[in-house]
Amino acid sequence: HHIESALFVIFGATGDLARRKLFPALYNLSAEGILPSGVAIVGVGRRPFDLAYFREKFILPALLDNSRLAGNLLHNFSSFAQRCYYFSLDLRDSSRYRELKNFLDQLDWEWGVQGNRVFYLALAPELFGPVVANLKEQGFLDKGPRSWKRVLVEKPFGWDLDSARALNRELTQAFPEEDIYRIDHYLGKEMIQNIMVIRFANAFFEPVWNNKYIDHIQITSSEKIGVGERAAYYDRAGALRDMLQNHMLQLVALIAMEPPVGLDAQAIRLEKAKVFRSLQPFTRERILQDIVRGQYGPGYIDGEPVPGYREEAGIPADSVTETFLAVKLFVNTFRWAGVPFYLRTGKRLPAKVTEIIIQFKPLPEILYFKEYGELLPNVLVIRVQPLEGIFVQLNAKRPGTNNYIVPIRLDFCQNCGVGTNSPEAYERLLYDALRGDATLFTGWEEVEYAWKFVDPIAQAWATIPVHFPNYAAGEWGPPEARVLIERDGRRWWESP
Ligand code: BG6
């Protein structure tokens, strides 16, 4: 894979995602000298910006607020700005796509791009269909001899299986599967990319990575923020669709998958899809027993009072959308049968943390046990954010004359040292899309099976009454979330 020149076309260029993530990521790649000089960026949006305004009043503030390299802006902004263009278009107005095409063709010629295109749909999914249909019908996708066209799509990839299938049909009418890059930005995070390396490049873990030695897995992805300004989207999605269907299940897949036959996208997707297929389906009974949903009420975050979910702007006063979810699930494969995976995610929780905990089974209490001190289980923690690293908990002898045992920790922190500044997920993902590497993107089969798993939960919930709010902002979800794991004699891991 290497990057050629290309036009990187962003539909929805004046939206929140473009401002917070896409332009900052492209800028960072450019400032670090990674983005090849032949890549130009074209924003397409509804607003009638002229080019100078777009560069100075939209892109520049976006970078100042959101780029991890904002400190270098004085130095690097003008060369980045010169790559950026803007075209104002109402995306539902088919009659003006021809003009957009001419605009791109002109830039293509000026930049010597020879037809390569990335189309980034930073849009509400309702617009995917109309946009790709126009791209196809109006000749945007006609291929020259060696050129390529790729489409990047943001979540949500549908609201359920049916809508996801409809969306996929619209996309595949214009692009073959291998040119569709479905973003799950968690896959771009450093430590998540590291999961496969830790598993398959070390002799320690793989031999014991199964139900014989592993007691259970925990995955926590918590946030302090509330719904923010995304009421319209979030109130329809809830934590189940917003976090579990995609990010959390992707983490389960990376932890649970068999070693792939190679490191290409196809081989990895195949193994991940198998995990999704092996998820034990939820019956109504198990939904009641093994899934806890919650919604935050008023409370305190970092000592500051914050409103409850139902008081947030744009949220109906009787909303039953869940902002928290804890679930115990099983991967029914030979490797994992009987090993519970406890997952929890939510908004307005006490900390912003994403961590994966692999807890090993205890040894028989024959030689060392209670009287030698409290033996803690062996634990491997993969820290995804905000700290990035790996943590291992072992038992060892305390120095001295008694045989007293104490827990010790091997703690590797990747981003603790001064000056480490990990690239953000989007940098890696946009770069990979430009070079045609789809390994960190989600394949259709994974999406399909994830919805098959999630749909029955959403359907059952719709018929079961809930009493919300049931946790105060700043708590770790409702008390039932603790019960879910503690009734099995286990506990949620607290980061040391
Ligand atoms: C997004 C969700 O996909 O992930 C948001 O839509 C959530 O609701 C976000 O806040 C969390 O991402 P990160 O990278 O901050 O962990």
Phi-psi region of 367 (alpha: psi -120 to 50; beta: other; left: phi over 0): alpha
The preferred substitution site among 159, 242, 424, 428 for testing ligand 1, maximizing ligand atoms within 8 Å of CB, is: 242
For residue 180, what are the CA distances in angstroms to 3, 184, 371, 432?
17, 13, 59, 13
What's the number of CA atoms in the CB half-sphere (13 Å) around residue 141? 19
Which residue of 16, 20, 66, 185 sits with most ligand 1 atoms within 8 Å of its CB, as the best mutation to test the pocket?
Answer: 185
State which ligand 1 atom lies nearest to the alpha carbon of 247: 3
Identity of the amino acid at 147: S
Kindly give the residue spans of alpha helices, DSSP state H, lying in 409-443.
425-435
How does pLDDT run along the chain (496 residues), one tens digit per residue?
A: 667 799 999 999 999 899 999 999 999 999 999 999 999 999 999 999 999 999 999 999 999 999 999 998 988 999 999 999 999 999 999 999 999 999 999 999 999 998 999 999 999 888 999 999 999 999 999 987 789 999 999 888 999 999 999 999 999 999 999 999 999 999 999 999 999 999 999 999 999 999 999 999 999 999 999 999 899 999 999 999 999 999 999 999 999 999 999 999 999 999 999 999 999 999 999 999 999 999 999 999 999 999 999 999 999 999 999 999 999 999 999 999 999 999 999 999 999 999 999 999 998 877 777 777 778 899 999 999 999 999 999 999 888 877 788 889 999 988 887 655 678 899 999 999 999 999 999 999 999 999 999 999 999 999 999 999 999 999 999 999 999 999 999 999 987 6
* Secondary structure element (H or E) that encloses residue 471, with its range: strand 471-472
Q: Is 389 annotated as a binding residue?
A: no
Q: Which of 154, 230, 247 to mutate to test the pocket of ligand 1 (most atoms within 8 A of CB)?
A: 247
State the Cα torsion 324-326-332-333 to the nearest 10°.
90
Report the amino acid identity of residue 5: S
- The CA distance from 240 to 64, in Å, is 33
How much distance in Å is there from the Cα of 225 to the middle of ligand 1?
Answer: 10
Atom 8 of ligand 1: nearest residue by CA position: 242
Residue 23 CA neighbour count, 13 Å, CB half: 35
Ligand 1 centroid–CA 69 distance in Å is: 21
Distance 344 CA to ligand 1 centre (A): 14
Whose CA is closest to 243, among 256, 260, 230, 257? 230
- Taking Cα atoms as reference points, which of 324, 330, 354 lies closest to residue 342? 330
Q: Which residue is closest in CA terms to ligand 1's atom 9?
A: 243
What pLDDT score does 95 carry?
Answer: 95
pTM reported for the whole predicted model: 0.94
Task: Answer yes or no: is 19 a known binding residue.
Answer: yes
| Residues forming a β-bridge with 222 | 346, 353
Separation of CA 345 and ligand 1 centre (Å): 10
Annotated catalytic residues are 247
| DSSP strands (E only) in 295-454 | 296-297, 299-301, 304-306, 324-329, 341-346, 353-360, 379-385, 389-397, 405-413
Strand-pairing partners, residue 442, are: 182
Q: Read off the DSSP letter of residue 159.
A: S
The response to whether 105 counts as a known ligand-binding position is no
314: left (phi over 0), alpha (psi -120 to 50) or beta: left
Dist. CA 375–CA 395, nearest whole Å: 7
Per the DSSP assignment, residues forming a β-bridge with 472 are 297
What value of ipTM does the predicted structure carry?
0.99
Predicted pLDDT at 1: 64
14 labeled binding residue: yes
Residues with CB under 6 A from ligand 1: 155, 185, 223, 242, 354
